[in-house]
């Protein structure tokens, strides 16, 4: 057998092997998508919410999960899924974000939101805004269209107007239940943190897309009867929101001052990065040990780099749900 013939056969084999690789299904290189959300945490009992109210919360969480999951299944990015899911929650007066947000001590609403992309480590946030219907969308615009991370107050609102984002006046955000809560607190001169039945209605979403990219987003109306200009953890990257493809994505809800001081979202990621803990173990330690010892209430949702979902909270309830890598959905409150 001549050397020329052997070389031809080897060439044909290599060509066929390359064609086989090029024609291999892309799906085999893609990740299974997943998404998780929270709608706030609090020390409430089952008797606090009627069955009808519980069902209303669960139905809205299911709606948000399905909207985000549909984005992911159709090949959309984790950032897009986070935005779409959070917008559903911001548009619902059931949660303390967007429409139906709690009132400040001055009887106004001030909204905060943030987002982080685990692939690029870019982030965006807005704080203290009053006219932006969906603050999460403004946060994403800050991340993608500016060199900054956070815009606040009028500057953030002017930016949102320039981007033609949906805006609205006080009547859009008004919710009778929230207003009555405000009047009660005003009469007592009571800040939210003094109320044992507090519900931190902040909303958040974490997601993994087909490319394995993670994202996290958080949106809130803040603390009921808060001082004008107060900003909590939700718009602060590392405190209320964090995402890094190498380790995981985290969104927080709770007593923001403690979450800021403890840099909760990043602390969870750091424990995984530097100690090699699972994200579930890290979250449980930070929320149920570290924060609890400080008298801080709240919780987190997380997705790690392999798409494992976990939720940890040190209160009696946290509105939460997920659709995992198998496509299984679950929502829960208590």
Q: Provide the annotated active-site residues.
A: 202
Q: List all residues 6 or more positions away from 76 whose beta carbon is below 8 Å from its beta carbon.
A: 209
């Amino acid at each position: 057998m001549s050397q020329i013939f052997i070389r031809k056969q080897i060439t044909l084999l290599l060509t066929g092997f390359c064609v086989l690789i090029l024609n291999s299904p892309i799906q085999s290189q893609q990740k299974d998508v997943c998404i998780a959300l929270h709608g706030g945490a609090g020390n409430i009992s089952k008797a606090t919410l009627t069955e009808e109210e519980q069902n209303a919360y669960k139905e809205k969480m299911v709606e948000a999960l399905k909207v985000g999951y549909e984005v992911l299944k159709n090949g959309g990015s984790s950032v897009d899924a986070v935005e779409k899911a959070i917008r559903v929650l911001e548009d619902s007066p059931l949660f303390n974000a967007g429409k139906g947000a709690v009132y400040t001590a001055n009887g106004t609403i001030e909204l905060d939101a943030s987002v982080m992309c685990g692939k690029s480590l870019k982030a965006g946030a807005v704080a203290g805004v009053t006219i932006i219907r969906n603050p999460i969308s403004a946060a994403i615009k800050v991340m993608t269209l500016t060199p900054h991370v956070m815009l606040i107050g009028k500057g953030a609102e002017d930016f949102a107007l320039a981007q033609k984002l949906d805006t609205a006046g006080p009547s859009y955000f008004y919710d009778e239940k929230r207003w009555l809560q405000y009047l009660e607190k005003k009469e007592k001169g009571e800040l939210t943190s003094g109320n044992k039945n507090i519900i931190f209605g902040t909303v958040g979403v974490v997601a993994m897309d087909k490319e394995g990219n993670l994202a996290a987003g958080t949106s809130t109306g803040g603390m009921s009867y808060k001082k004008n200009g107060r900003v909590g953890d939700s718009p602060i990257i590392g405190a209320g929101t964090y995402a890094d493809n190498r380790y995981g994505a985290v969104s927080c809800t709770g007593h923001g001052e403690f979450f800021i001081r403890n840099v909760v979202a990043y602390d969870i990621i750091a424990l995984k990065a530097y100690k090699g803990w699972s994200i579930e173990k890290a979250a449980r330690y930070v929320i149920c040990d570290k924060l609890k010892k400080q008298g801080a209430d709240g919780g987190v949702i997380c997705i790690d780099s392999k798409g494992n979902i976990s939720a940890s909270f040190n209160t009696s309830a946290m509105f939460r749900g997920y659709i995992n890598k198998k496509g299984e959905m679950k929502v829960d409150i208590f």
